[in-house]
Chain A
Amino acid sequence: MNLGEKILAAHSGKTKVSAGEFIDVRVDMVLANDITAPLAIQEFGKLGVNKVFDPSRVVMVPDHFCPNKDILAAEQAKLMREFARKHGILYFEVGRMGIEHVLLPENGMVLPGEVIVGADSHTCTYGAVGAFATGMGSTDIAMAMATGEIWMKVPPAVKFVYRGKLKKWVGGKDLILFTIGQIGVEGAHYSSMEFAGEAVDLLGMDGRFTMANMAIEAGGKAGLFAVDARTIEYVKPRAKRSYRIYKSDKNATYARTFEWDISKLEPQVALPHLPSNVRPVSQVKNVEVDQVVIGSCTNGRLDDLRVAAKLLKGRQVNPRVRCIVIPGSQQVYMQAMREGLLGIFVQAGVAVSTPTCGPCLGGHMGILAAGERCCSTTNRNFVGRMGSTKSEVFLAGPAVAAATAVVGRITSPLEIAR
């Protein structure tokens, strides 16, 4: 069995599962946010049960439209908060919260070998710690909240092997954009993606979170990394419950295997309006931008801010550009402050925000007008994603985004730094 099959078998009381099989899976954590929880709470109410299956395994995070962007958002957040209090589930209030997929791993709430379901498509992020994690809708999540179980179809696995070492200024975001560019937005349709090879072995946890996060942008059900010394170093001080490590068998079956030498890979950019519309940054010429966003569940972690700060230190954001940096959680925010990163940003003319999904999905904190362009470290560049249907979003990693903020047009970090 491959890693995904191992975890799913262990959570469905079976010794073996294989692709295409329908199974009932026991879940270790169930997640919803301020957009998806209200619908989930409504459907939960229809079941006629009066409690969640285990309050210590249900978590709600107000991150999408919070701090409340308007009255309707405030009502949704209130509904969620009251449900959380009533049922005694895990809940993180504004001022103590973070973007869910940054927050949960750093609090040790998603662990190797676990099955996590969340009413958010980027729940697949937790594959970075070797958890089988996948996004679902509100009704599914309501049922999981009530029963602690969910039905799944065992996905086929696709393996991605990255040979070689990454060049300077090239990171997890570039690897995953490159991958989606190669296989397309449904290239891993319904599959569990397994990432391997020297380049990802050397990648820090933050870069792995970025890669697993965007599995959904290739149509994937999960994006998995094998647990190694880096994972253990990350998880051990955070875990509050025991966990089990699973490994793919040597003879595990994969529907497909892709293998690339990435030692010459340049930073990558996804042009409007699909995450698969990817080019090396050197081929993206004369694209002036109005806004740069550095943050989100994809790239709002400490390593991302460190890269951006390296490029923004002692430089100024181009006068025609609005640059917005959004640390992904209060912990990231605090550590960025301790390391002096926030000072570097503010000195450079950056707007630094409290954690929120905000502009990524066109919620608030940086909406685009018609004709405006944004270079963003977020995950989707669909029509109207960040505001006007006549605006454009270019996806990139934090290095390209920071260099772009300085120059005012999409560029390689090599244009301003060595």
Chain B
Amino acid sequence: MKLRGAVHKYGAHINTDVIIPARHLSLSEGADLARHCMEDIDAGFVKRVKQGDIMVAAANFGCGSSREHAPLAIKASGISCIIAESYARIFFRNGINIGLPLLESPEAVHGTKNGDVLEVVLETGEIKNLTSGKTYRAAPYPPFLLDIISAGGLVEYTKRRLEKAK
């Protein structure tokens, strides 16, 4: 699958409280959450973001709480994938589980500016910066995670396992 979009770039330790503040956690629909996505750190994000855009960030993206509302808000805002130097572990699980692709590539993060246009091939982990012409590679998913991703997320993956067990 090929993804293409403009970059919204952020720094290190972007936490779940700024991705979706707790005052909005009595919402659970993606579209409702997306209206408040990133509002405490980047109030203009919701207006700027276009379908397919790509979020790029430094280390430890998604640290903080376990709220799945965070990747849900990002996905529903139109972001097609995230590229970061590294992820907090609960956020990483949540993203994979709900079908939001998360790639790890410090080089791509360093070589990307706000507004650059990237093209990402999920299967190979190839990241092309169409603005600069440079190409980067993301760390490959372990086979175990690929099974979840290829099933379309954890719900489908578990459904299949439950059927097999019958």
Kindly state the separation between the CA atoms of A118 and B65 in the bound complex, as whole angstroms. Answer: 12
Q: Please, how many angstroms separate the alpha-carbon atoms of A167 and B110 in the complex?
A: 45
Contact with B along A139-172 (1 / 0, CB 8 A): 1101100110001000000000000000000000
Q: How many A-B residue pairs have CB under 8 A?
A: 131
Given contacts A76-B26, A274-B13, contact A47 B162 (CB under 8 A): yes
Whether, in the assembled complex, B17 has its beta carbon less than 8 Å from a beta carbon of chain A, the answer is yes
Task: State whether the Cβ of B22 lies closer than 8 Å to any Cβ in chain A.
Answer: yes
Residue of B18, B94, B158 touching A137 (CB-CB under 8 A): B94
Name the A residues within 8 Å of B153 (CB-CB).
Answer: 139
Q: Contact: A137 with B17, CB < 8 Å?
A: no
Decide if A186 touches B86 in the complex (CB within 8 Å).
Answer: yes
Q: Decide yes or no whether B4 CB sits under 8 A from chain A.
A: no
Q: Known contacts A137-B93, A185-B63; decide if A39 and B69 are in contact (CB<8 Å).
A: yes
Interface size class of chain A, counting residues whose CB lies under 8 Å from the partner chain: 35 or more
Cross-chain contact of A135 among B28, B90, B154, B155 (Cβ < 8 A): B90
Is the Cβ of B97 less than 8 Å from the Cβ of A186? no
Nearest chain B CB to A231's CB is how many angstroms away?
Answer: 26
A147 and B28 contact, CB distance less than 8 A: no
Task: Specify which chain B residues have a CB less than 8 angstroms from the CB of A418 in the assembled complex.
Answer: none
Given A139-B94, A147-B161: A186 and B154 interface contact (C-beta under 8 Å): no
Question: Which residue in B59, B68, B162 is a CB contact (below 8 Å) of A147?
Answer: B162
> Which A residue's beta carbon lies closest to that of B25?
A35
Partner of B162, one of A38, A49, A363: A49
Known: A135-B90, A384-B40. A36 touches B17 (CB 8 A): no
Tell me whether A185 and B89 are in contact in the complex, defined as CB-CB below 8 angstroms, given that A70-B26, A139-B94, A389-B40 are known contacts: no
Min CB–CB distance B45 → chain A (angstroms): 14
By a CB distance below 8 angstroms, the chain A residues around B86 are: 186, 189
Q: A22-B142, A151-B144, A382-B64 are in contact. Are A65 and B26 (CB under 8 A)?
A: yes
Q: Is A43 an interface residue (CB 8 A)?
A: yes
Name A's B-contacting residues (CB within 8 A): 22, 35-36, 38-39, 42-43, 46-49, 64-65, 70, 72-73, 75-76, 118-121, 123, 135-140, 142-143, 146-147, 151, 185-186, 189-190, 216, 219, 221, 274, 361-363, 380, 382-385, 389
User: 20 A-B contacts, Cβ less than 8 Å apart?
Assistant: A35-B67, A46-B159, A47-B155, A47-B158, A72-B26, A120-B66, A135-B66, A136-B66, A136-B94, A138-B68, A139-B68, A139-B154, A142-B155, A143-B154, A146-B158, A151-B144, A190-B89, A363-B22, A380-B17, A382-B64
